[in-house]
Amino acid sequence: MTLLIGSITIGLVLSLLALGIFISFRIFDFPDITAEGSFTFGAAITASLIVAGVNPVTATAMAFAGGLMAGAATGLIHTRFKINPLLSGILVMTALYSVNLHVMGKSNVPLLSQLTLFTWAENFSVSVSGKDAVTNIIGWSVPVKDLWILLFCLIMIVAFSLLLLWFFRTNIGTAMRATGDNDQMIRALGVNTNVMIVFGVALSNGFIALAGSMLAQFQGFADVQMGIGMMVWGLASVIIGEALINEKKLGLLIAGAVIGAVLFRLLVAIALRWGMNPNDLKLITAAFVFLALVLPGIMNKTKKIKLISQ
């Protein structure tokens, strides 16, 4: 049960990443690979600020701001200099690698004894239910602390998702969505699509940096290599969520991205729990993701066949 709760918590933290990727890939149709840089950027900013004694909330907010800047840079390179979106992402991601090393001053910043958002959640748990409190959930004993952290992440993700949903329903948000769907139409309506793209990619990377910031606080350190592979995982989460939800409503798409991220972490946890050869881990994860993508489709098909045969 601790395994389940731990995996869901990591999944929720990383669903911020999925939301970010969802914005750039799905809303804007902009293949943005700044993610791997901005993820670490968020972690680096938060870690350095926390070590310097800054309040964790400010440090997290600064990470979001940093992500916005990184994304804006990618957007500007693409719109101003007409550079291919993939390449502009590569440029910023590569540059961020050095920036991250500068921000941290070294390649790895430990936060083991620092005050983070998660220490607050832990302290809250201690004040409510005592230190080392354990509860029992259908036979598994679970530290209460973990439940509070899970709840904290859940509240945070729900809040961010609702915020995003609200934002994309405002005028500017709708214009942004339209930019991704049909840019000629929206240009005809007098909207500057370039501004929309810059803003959208910035927002996307803000969320990704936020994910990096939260993960660094959750795991207790920031490492310059922590962004590697993140974009692929985020994208996989978004697509799993889509395959599962299979509908075009905005709210459901956002929920799908979050569900996909959590589901993805659960699949990895199952692969780990079954205890296979460590070298096969990624192979098995890939196989799971494949199944998660294919199964809903097969289920739909069998449903249709049934309907026809009736």
Q: Can you tell me the distance from the alpha carbon of 179 to that of 165, in angstroms, rounded to the nearest whole number?
A: 17
What lies within 8 Å, CB to CB, of 18 at 6+ separation is 234, 237, 238, 241, 257, 258, 260, 261
- CA of 141: how far to CAs of 5, 147, 290, in Å? 12, 11, 33
Contact flag: residue 119 with other proteins (CB under 8 A): no
**Residue choice 41, 199, 241, 289 for contact with other proteins (CB under 8 A):** 241
Residues 194-205 as b or e (16 or more Cβ within 10 Å = b): bebbbbbbbbbb
**Residue choice 107, 135, 170, 192 for contact with other proteins (CB under 8 A):** 107
Residue 177 has a CB neighbour count (10 Å cut-off) of 20
- Smallest separation (angstroms) from other proteins to the CB of 47: 11
Contact flag: residue 58 with other proteins (CB under 8 A): no
Bridge partners of 20, per DSSP, are none
Contact flag: residue 112 with other proteins (CB under 8 A): yes
Residues 198-237 within binding reach of other proteins (CB under 8 A) = 215, 218-221, 223-230, 233
Q: Can you tell me the distance from the alpha carbon of 60 to that of 97, in angstroms, rounded to the nearest whole number?
A: 19
Return the range that interacts with other proteins (CB under 8 A); candidates 19-27, 52-60, 183-191, 251-259: 251-259
Q: Tell me whether residue 198 or residue 226 sits nearer to other proteins (CB atom).
A: 226
Contact flag: residue 110 with other proteins (CB under 8 A): yes
Q: Can you tell me the distance from the alpha carbon of 111 to that of 119, in angstroms, rounded to the nearest whole number?
A: 11
What lies within 8 Å, CB to CB, of 113 at 6+ separation is none
- Smallest separation (angstroms) from other proteins to the CB of 178: 23
Residue 179 has a CB neighbour count (10 Å cut-off) of 25
**Residue choice 1, 57, 128, 155 for contact with other proteins (CB under 8 A):** 1
Instruction: For residue 64, give the nearest of 162, 181, 175, 156 by alpha carbon.
Output: 156
Residues 5-24 within binding reach of other proteins (CB under 8 A) = 6-8, 10, 14
Q: Tell me whether residue 107 or residue 123 sits nearer to other proteins (CB atom).
A: 107
Per-residue contact flags (x/-) with other proteins for residues 25 to 44, judged by CB under 8 A: --------------------
Instruction: For residue 66, give the nearest of 219, 211, 215 by alpha carbon.
Output: 211
63 and 100 in contact (C-beta within 8 Å)? no
Contact flag: residue 266 with other proteins (CB under 8 A): yes
Q: Tell me whether residue 195 or residue 269 sits nearer to other proteins (CB atom).
A: 269
Q: Residue 142, SS3?
A: strand
Contact flag: residue 278 with other proteins (CB under 8 A): yes
Q: Can you tell me the distance from the alpha carbon of 227 to that of 83, in angstroms, rounded to the nearest whole number?
A: 24
Per-residue contact flags (x/-) with other proteins for residues 161 to 200, judged by CB under 8 A: ----------------------------------------
Contact flag: residue 61 with other proteins (CB under 8 A): no
- Smallest separation (angstroms) from other proteins to the CB of 242: 10
207 and 20 in contact (C-beta within 8 Å)? yes
Contact flag: residue 130 with other proteins (CB under 8 A): no
Contact flag: residue 53 with other proteins (CB under 8 A): no
Taking every pair of Cα atoms in the chain, the longest distance, rounded to a whole number of angstroms, is 68
Residue 249 has a CB neighbour count (10 Å cut-off) of 10
Question: Which positions touch other proteins (CB under 8 A)?
Answer: 1-4, 6-8, 10, 14, 97, 101, 106-108, 110-113, 136, 139-141, 215, 218-221, 223-230, 233, 241, 244-247, 252, 255-256, 259, 262-263, 265-270, 272-275, 278-279, 281-282, 292, 296
